[in-house]
Amino acid sequence: MNEFDAPEDDPRDLVARFRYIYIILGLTLVIIFSRLWYLQIIQGDELHEYSEKNLLKETRIRAPRGLILDRDGNILVDNVLGFNATITPQYASRLVDTANVVGKILQVEPEKIIEDVRASRWKNGPFMPVIIKPNLTLDEVFRLKRIRIDQPGLNVDETVMRYYPLGPNGAQLFGYVGEVSQHEIEDYRKKYHTTKIVQQGDWIGQNGLEESLDPILRGHDGLSYTEVDAHGRESAALNKALLDLKPQPPVPGHNIVLTIDEDVQKAAMDAMLHQNDKIGPRIGALVAIKSDGEILAWVSTPSFDPNEFAQGSVNSDTWDALTKDPYKPFMDKVIQDHYSPGSTIKPVVATAALQEGVVTPYTIVSAPGKMWFGGRWYHDAERAGHGNIDIMQAIEESSNVFFYKMGIQLGIDNIAKYAKAMGLGQKTGIQVPGETPGLFPTKAWKMKTLDEPWLPGENLSNAIGQGYVLVTLLQEALAYNTIATNGTLYKPFLVKEIQNQNHHAMQEYKPQIIRDITKPNDAGVLVNKKYLAFVREGMRLVANGDKGTAHWWKIPGVIMAGKTGTSQVVSFSADQIHKNCFNRPFWLRDNGIYLAFAPVDHPEIVVGVLAEHSCWGNLGGAPVVRDVIRAYIQKYHPDWIKTKTLVGKSRPTKPILTETRITHGD
């Protein structure tokens, strides 16, 4: 081995070049050090968090929404179990294949699935499951579960869905739930000053009580953590000490007990839709209020099925039909629609006239078929007029000319003062969103808004509820309740009690009095109770007197008092006014309104009905009101109902008149 060293084998010239190797090794160490420093020290916390997220599938456990119950504890809005098909983008390694297989089973376009999943991956991140189809049938659930193992990322998630047992009945009142939109999230965050309240994918109340009571109904979602491997498979074997995260159980929302009476509510919907007469199903609204302001029934028609919305299964045809319906199914006509009250304003004007001394209860006034004022004729619905009548007869027969005269003498400001004191033309503050205030005009209002002086003739039209006056059905019901209760304006309310999930009361709500108009109050009117009694007598005659405009609809043993009203949807000439309303196109027919309370001497319930395009307040509204009051009495005072018709103290009964007479009744 010991050979001689050849001269060309002298390595000394090469040794000098080793310095380059040392430099490269040094640089390498510096680069590796810097990079490790950057990753592990500077980015360490961030990457550590990411590694935990990698491993943890954070599952939100949806808190069940609180139930909505009626006053007897019957469930009006319920929770039921449903199934959604979802795909989690992160784990869908064979998305196209999965989309094809799943699309076939669920009858969904595979392209749409792929697009949805890809879009959601960008928008919501790779771990948020994307709902492919909500509300699966059991058959679909079984078929998906069978193929789930072969399709990574596919899952069948159980969800709690909202269920509305009454269906379209009260749909506008209860509202429905829907997935929160991006702009609703921002609204919520501004409103409640927290980012935690709603998140992408949450379902929130989107209308009616579901919306306004959402903070009470919605609980706090819980979180559970499942440890998964890189393929998204759950790993029970994982050493729990790797991570220390405790699951947070969901906190259910509170239950809400409403003042609504399911039986009355059902009777109300039934009465609106199933009147066996020539008008047929009523379009409009119904509200039934207990005399202390508790709302018993609340109906708006036409309606829609909120279950389709809550289950996310509204198809575009249904949606189109609903949004294009000229009779506005989504509008809650109890409070969101205002209208000219027509003759239903007369009890309020009568109260003002009596209290202001324009007439006494015994003053006889001439009430012909028309009246000349300010250079034009003002007409009565009754071409022949009513002859010489007192104020009670004027209410009974709904004389326009009588109230034209009251209007002239009172002036609009006086009428407005009493109307507003009784709750008209202003929001009632009910806990349903979207309430419209209506309008009760004054001279100052007209000057301010229209920049025109009040014309004397407008006193006439507004005194019979035409002109500028706009009210909601709920306002009118409250005003009538004020007359019924001898002067007390109650605040209407729907929420009777808030309960925890075990149905223990947490908060109860009592009736609230806004004002008593027979005592000194903030509205500046002071009504003598005896005048209210005269008004009530007039209203009793409406429902019972032989000339009463609504006396064909009675309940044996229970005496009702009410007032009919018909309001034109467009202006007509004198001839057209007297022309048979039913000959007009449907959408030009007058709106019929009827409100009544019972029993007359100790009223418990006020029911108001707006029957759009029904031509007559009595024909359109009175039978519906009668049916609802009867349903209430049958439930709470079945003993009151007698087979024999009781009419009242002072006047005798007359046989039921022919229908031709009826059409002239208002």
C-alpha to C-alpha distance for 291 and 608, rounded to whole angstroms: 13
Of 37 and 319, CB closest to another protein: 37
CA 228 from chain center: how many Å? 43
- Taking the complex as a whole, the smallest distance from the CB of residue 108 to another protein amounts, in Å, to 23
Distance, in Å, from the CA atom of 57 to the CA atom of 53, rounded to the nearest integer, reads: 7
Min. distance of Cβ 105 from another protein in angstroms?
24
What minimum distance in Å lies between the beta carbon of 128 and another protein? 15
Q: Compute, in degrees rounded to 10, the torsion defined by CA atoms 607, 611, 612, 617.
A: -100
CB 324 within 8 A of CB 373: no
Q: How far is the CB of 201 from another protein (least distance, A)?
A: 21
Q: What single letter denotes the amino acid at residue 577?
A: I
In the complex, least distance from residue 180 CB atom to another protein, rounded to whole angstroms: 28
Closest contact distance (angstroms) between CB of 115 and another protein is: 17
Q: How far is the CB of 281 from another protein (least distance, A)?
A: 57
The residue among 49 and 115 lying less far from another protein, judged by its C-beta, is: 49
Binding site for another protein (CB under 8 A): 1-3, 5, 8-11, 13-15, 17-18, 20-22, 24-25, 28-29, 31-33, 35-37, 39-41, 43-48, 50-52, 54-55, 90, 93, 126, 227-231, 235, 237-239, 242-243
Closer of 126 and 215 to another protein (Cβ): 126
**Longest distance between any two alpha carbons in the chain, whole Å:** 152
The nearer residue to another protein, 87 or 609, going by C-beta atoms, is 87
Nearest alpha-carbon partner for 170 in 67, 284, 335, 299 = 299
Please, which residue, 90 or 343, has the CB nearer to another protein? 90
Handedness of CA 89, 93, 97, 102 (dihedral sign): negative
Q: Are 335 and 429 in contact (CB under 8 A)?
A: no
Q: Where are the alpha helices (DSSP H) in 453-606?
A: 456-463, 473-484, 529-544, 574-578
CB-wise, 22 or 362, nearer to another protein?
Answer: 22
**Least Cβ distance, residue 37 to another protein (angstroms):** 7
Nearer residue to another protein within complex by CB, 51 or 500: 51
Contact in structure between 284 and 274 (CB atoms under 8 Å): no
Q: Tell me which residue of 397, 428, 403 sits closest to 335, measured CA to CA.
A: 428
CB of 199: closest distance to another protein in angstroms?
Answer: 23
Cis peptide before 599 (omega within 30 of 0): yes
Structure tokens at 428: 């009632």
d(CA 298, CA 305): 16
Cβ proximity to another protein: between 116 and 294 the closer is 116
CB 248, min distance to another protein, A? 21
Rounded Cα gap, residues 353 and 345, in angstroms: 12
Considering the complex, state which of residue 52 and residue 202 has its C-beta at the smaller distance from another protein: 52
Min CB(175)–another protein separation in Å: 41
Give the single-character DSSP code of 568. Answer: -
Compute the least distance from the CB of residue 226 to another protein, in Å.
12
> CB–CB of 537/483 below 8 Å?
no
Instruction: Return the structure tokens found at 555.
Output: 């309940």
Alpha carbons 624 and 634: distance in angstroms, whole number = 15
Nearest in space to 347 (alpha carbons), one of 283, 403, 304, 302:
403
Q: Where are the alpha helices (DSSP H) in 378-518?
A: 391-397, 400-410, 412-421, 443-450, 456-463, 473-484
Residue with smaller CB distance to another protein, 21 or 570: 21
Backbone angles phi, psi at 386, to 5 degrees: -120, 0
Residues pairing with 81 in the sheet: 160
**How far apart (Å, rounded) are the C-alpha atoms in residues 152 and 228?**
13
Nearer to another protein, 56 or 657 (CB): 56
> 106: closest CA among 59, 68, 144?
144
- Distance, CA of 109 to CA of 102 (rounded, Å): 9
**Beta strands 488-491; 222-227: pairing state:** unpaired
Nearer to another protein, 42 or 450 (CB): 42
Nearer to another protein, 46 or 452 (CB): 46
